[in-house]
C-alpha cells in the first residue's frame, strides 16, 4: 500500500481503518468479525486505526482494537482517538480532556495515543450554537491542554475534526500552536450529511479547508468518503426517508450511474476519488467486515482516477 507524508509523525498508509464500521455504526457486525477485520487491515499494510469513545455502544471500537492487538501485537501501528466537548457547561475543558484520554488509554491498554483529536465543531465568536466550542475556549483552554499532554508523552500529536463553519476552522488551522492533523470531509459529492449542524447560515467548503490545512502544514485525514453510506450501492442500515443519509443517497443516483458506466462499484469509485484528492494524507475506511475492506483495498491498488474520470465526477456536484 502507498505510504504518504503525515507531517510530524512521518508516514501513514493511504488507507486508515476507522472505528465506526467495526463498532457497528454503519450496519451490523460482531466482535469476532471486527477483530478479524483489524488483523486483515494490518496484514494489508494499513498503519493507522482511527477510533473514538463514541463509536458503537459501550466504547466498542476501542475495545475491539484492544482485543485485536492483544491477540496479535502490532507495536508500530498508530492509533488515534477523540474527545468530545459538546457544551460549555462548567467549562473545565482541561479536566474533561484528560479524563477522556485516560479512559481511552485504559480501554486500549496503552500508555499514549499517536493522535488525539478534538471531535467537536466550532462556532464563531459571539455566536450561540449548542454542541459547539467557541474560539476563545479552543485557543485559551483546549490547545494548551493538548500541548501539555504532548509534553507529558501522553500523546504524540493532536488535531481537530474540521467539519462545520469554515471561518473558525481556518483560523484554528493557521493559529499557533497549530494542530498536527485535521479530519476533513472528502467525498465525491461533498456531502456532509448529519455532520452539518449549521443549517443555511454558512456553506461547507471542504476544498478550501484542505488547502488551508496544506498551507499550514497540517496533515489531512479524509473522512466520510462514502458519505455515511450514501455513495454506496445501498444503505446498509434502516433510516427514515428524512434522514440526511437517505436524502444524500437519493441525490447520489447520478454518481451510482457514473460508477456503473466506469465499471466500478459506487464505493470503489468513492474511495478512488478521495485517494486522488491532492493534499489528503490518508483516507479513513468505514468498513465493518473483511469483505468491505477487500473492496477498498482493491480500489486503492488500482490507483488514482484519471483526469477524465475526475472531471466526470466533478460534473455531478451541485452548483454552489
53-83: pLDDT as tens digits: 999 888 999 999 999 999 999 999 999 999 9
The answer to whether residue 320 sits within a structural domain is: no
All cell numbers assigned to 300: 486503492
The pLDDT of residue 131: 84
Among 288, 219, 275, 226, which residue's Cα sits nearest to residue 252? 226
Average pLDDT, stretch 221-234? 93
The answer to whether residue 171 sits within a structural domain is: yes
Q: pLDDT digit string (tens) for 293-302?
A: 999 999 999 9
Q: Provide φ and ψ at 221, rounded to 5°.
A: -105, 115
The answer to whether residue 308 sits within a structural domain is: yes
**Per-residue pLDDT for 130 more than 60?**
yes
Q: Provide φ and ψ at 214, rounded to 5°.
A: -60, -45
**pTM metric for this prediction:** 0.94
Q: Find how far residue 300's CA is from the centre of its chain.
A: 17
Spatial separation of the C-alpha atoms in residues 21 and 271, rounded to whole Å: 15
Query: Which residue in this structure is represented by grid cell 450554537?
Result: 129
CATH number for the domain harbouring residue 223? 3.20.20.100
Query: Which residue in this structure is represented by grid cell 477522556?
Result: 100
The pLDDT of residue 159: 98
pLDDT bucket at 185, cuts 50 / 70 / 90: very high
Instruction: Identify the burial level of 132 via C-beta atoms within 10 angstroms of its C-beta, where 0-12 means exposed, 13-18 middle and 19 or more buried.
Output: buried
What is the domain range of residue 301?
3-314
Q: How many domains does the chain have?
A: 1
Average pLDDT, stretch 84-112? 91
The answer to whether residue 170 sits within a structural domain is: yes
The answer to whether residue 53 sits within a structural domain is: yes
Helices 253-262 + 266-276 axis angle, to 10: 90
The pLDDT of residue 63: 97
**Per-residue pLDDT for 88 more than 80?**
no
Percent of the chain exceeding pLDDT 70 equals 95
List b or e across 52-70, with b for residues whose CB sees 16 or more CB atoms inside 10 angstroms. Answer: bbbbbeebbbbbbbbbbbe
pLDDT bucket at 237, cuts 50 / 70 / 90: confident
Q: Find how far residue 59's CA is from the centre of its chain.
A: 17
Q: pLDDT digit string (tens) for 3-33?
A: 999 999 999 999 999 999 999 988 889 999 9
User: Alpha helix (H) ranges present in 152-239?
Assistant: 166-174, 206-216
The answer to whether residue 319 sits within a structural domain is: no
**Per-residue pLDDT for 161 more than 60?**
yes
The answer to whether residue 138 sits within a structural domain is: yes
The pLDDT of residue 190: 85
Give 57 or 156, the one with higher predicted confidence: 156
**Per-residue pLDDT for 49 more than 90?**
yes
The answer to whether residue 291 sits within a structural domain is: yes
Tell me the pLDDT of the chain averaged across its residues: 92
Give 243 or 18, the one with higher predicted confidence: 18
Q: Provide φ and ψ at 115, rounded to 5°.
A: -140, 130
**Per-residue pLDDT for 244 more than 90?**
no
Q: Provide φ and ψ at 283, rounded to 5°.
A: -115, 125
> What string of DSSP letters covers 70-94?
HHS--TT-EEEEEE-----TT--HH
Amino acid at each position: 500500500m502507498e505510504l504518504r507524508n503525515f507531517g510530524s509523525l512521518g508516514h501513514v498508509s493511504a488507507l486508515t481503518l476507522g472505528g465506526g464500521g467495526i463498532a457497528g455504526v454503519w450496519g451490523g457486525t460482531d466482535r469476532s468479525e471486527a477483530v478479524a477485520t483489524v488483523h486483515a487491515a494490518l496484514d494489508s499494510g494499513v498503519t493507522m486505526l482511527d477510533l473514538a469513545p463514541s463509536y458503537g455502544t459501550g466504547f466498542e471500537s476501542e475495545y475491539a482494537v484492544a482485543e485485536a492487538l492483544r491477540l496479535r501485537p502490532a507495536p508500530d501501528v498508530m492509533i488515534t482517538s477523540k474527545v468530545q466537548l459538546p457544551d460549555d457547561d462548567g467549562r473545565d475543558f482541561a479536566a474533561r480532556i484528560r479524563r477522556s484520554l485516560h479512559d481511552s488509554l485504559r480501554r486500549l491498554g496503552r500508555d499514549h495515543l499517536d493522535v488525539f483529536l478534538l471531535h467537536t465543531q466550532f462556532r464563531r465568536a459571539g455566536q450561540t450554537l449548542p454542541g459547539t466550542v467557541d474560539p476563545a475556549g479552543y485557543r485559551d483552554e483546549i490547545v494548551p491542554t493538548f500541548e501539555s499532554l504532548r509534553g507529558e508523552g501522553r500523546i504524540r500529536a493532536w488535531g481537530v475534526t474540521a467539519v462545520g463553519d469554515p471561518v473558525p476552522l481556518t483560523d484554528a488551522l493557521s493559529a499557533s500552536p497549530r494542530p498536527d492533523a485535521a479530519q476533513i470531509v472528502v467525498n465525491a459529492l461533498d456531502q456532509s450529511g448529519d455532520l452539518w449542524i449549521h443549517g443555511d447560515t454558512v456553506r461547507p467548503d471542504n476544498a478550501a479547508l484542505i488547502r488551508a490545512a496544506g498551507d499550514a502544514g497540517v496533515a489531512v485525514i479524509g473522512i466520510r468518503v462514502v458519505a455515511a453510506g450514501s455513495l454506496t450501492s445501498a444503505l446498509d442500515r434502516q433510516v427514515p426517508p428524512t434522514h440526511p443519509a437517505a436524502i444524500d443517497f437519493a441525490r447520489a443516483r447520478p454518481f451510482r450511474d457514473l460508477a456503473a458506466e466506469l465499471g466500478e462499484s459506487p464505493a470503489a469509485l468513492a474511495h478512488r476519488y478521495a485517494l486522488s484528492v491532492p493534499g489528503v494524507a490518508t483516507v479513513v475506511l468505514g468498513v465493518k467486515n473483511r469483505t468491505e475492506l477487500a473492496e477498498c483495498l482493491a480500489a486503492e491498488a488500482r490507483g488514482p482516477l484519471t483526469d477524465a474520470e475526475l472531471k466526470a465526477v466533478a460534473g455531478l456536484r451541485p452548483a454552489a
